[in-house]
Structure 1
Amino acid sequence: MGFGLPDLGTLITPIDSSGSTGTFGQTQLFAFNVTESADPSSLLLGSMRGYAVQASSTADFHGVEVEVLSYADGSLNGTLSLQGLIIAGTNEIAIVGGTGDFCGARGYGIITFLNSTATVALYQHQLFFL
């Protein structure tokens, strides 16, 4: 049995350096209100801020996303840090820490895109703590 360098080309398609895909590395910053329900006028619970970076050189979106949820509902107060790989559809991301009432939090979240209009994008976050 011999050892050699890994062939990463078989795992991840190499980046198209010709620029023909045009999306690798694009970054999207976001800031959303966090509400009790999908109705944007429902009780405001906090805010979600973060960014996603396009991490594939194909037409399919694969983004590395980092989010910080600032939460204050009257009984809980603090922040949660989430991160993971985002593709089209429903995604699972990691809860990697927190502050305040969420200090040391660990778990995962399920993010589901609901719909969008010209002025509102709706995502549902279901959080599960370990």
Structure 2
Amino acid sequence: MAYYWSFQASLLFLLFFVATSQAQARDFTTHLHFFVHENDNSPNATAITVVNSTTSNPGGFGSIGVFDDELREGSTADSKLIGRAQGIAPEVSLSSQMAWLGLLNFVFTDGEYNGSSLAVVCRATLEGATERSIVGGTGKFRMARGYAITTFVSGAPAGHFIVEYNAYVAH
């Protein structure tokens, strides 16, 4: 009988240890606030269309763009550069509202998260706030999960786009 209670106590301790160690491993949530600056104008373009749509659908359905945009602390072009937003964005909407499937990495090159990255998947539009899924990361963001709320800030001058990000990352 003593063996039975000893076995149960050991099993209970093991389950408690596993449960608390798992909870501690994913206990950290970080809020990031930054701006993505995109320039579609040559000669210093950070985004280009690599496949033009051959359909007559509105908005360029089927076009594919790639980008290596700037991540900045602020909404002005002279704010501190903290990394790059690198990815691909095919246009996926047949409706008149333009929408893209965004597959991107935020690569941090300065500050506390230098050398780390976040992987994001989203449906992006230029209208209103958009929620984007954070599906992974590297460095300090290894095993990251979370979301970002984005707001289109500006499209001026023509060909320059600024998008504000508020990201919430569990890692």
* TM-score band, normalised by shorter chain: 0.7 to 0.9
| Rounded Cα–Cα distance in structure 2 between residues aligned with 1:99 and 1:25 | 31
Partner of 1:36: 73
Report the Cα offset of residue 54 of structure 1: 1.3
Runs of 4+ in 1 over 6 A off after TM superposition: none
- The DSSP-based 3-state class of the residue aligned with 1:101 is helix
Partner of 2:160: 120
TM-score, scaled to structure 1: 0.77
Question: For residues 1-130 of structure 1, what are the structure 2 equivalents within 5 Å?
Answer: 19-21=55-57, 23-77=60-114, 78-89=116-127, 90-116=129-155, 117-118=157-158, 120-130=160-170
- The DSSP-based 3-state class of the residue aligned with 2:71 is strand
| Rounded Cα–Cα distance in structure 2 between residues aligned with 1:123 and 1:62 | 15
| Rounded Cα–Cα distance in structure 2 between residues aligned with 1:111 and 1:40 | 18
Identity value in percent: 28
**RMSD across aligned positions (CA):** 1.9
Unmatched 5+ stretches in structure 2:
1-54
Larger proportion of helix: 2
- The DSSP-based 3-state class of the residue aligned with 2:136 is strand
- What code does the residue aligned with 2:165 have? H
Unmatched 5+ stretches in structure 1:
1-18
Report the Cα offset of residue 119 of structure 1: 5.5
Larger proportion of strand: 1
Q: Rg: which structure is higher?
A: 2
TM-score, scaled to structure 2: 0.60
- Aligned CA distance change for structure 1 residues 60 and 69 (closer, same or farther; 3 Å): same
| Rounded Cα–Cα distance in structure 1 between residues aligned with 2:103 and 2:142 | 18
Aligned length: 113
Report the Cα offset of residue 56 of structure 1: 2.0
Partner of 2:36: none
Report the Cα offset of residue 55 of structure 1: 1.2
Report the Cα offset of residue 102 of structure 1: 0.7
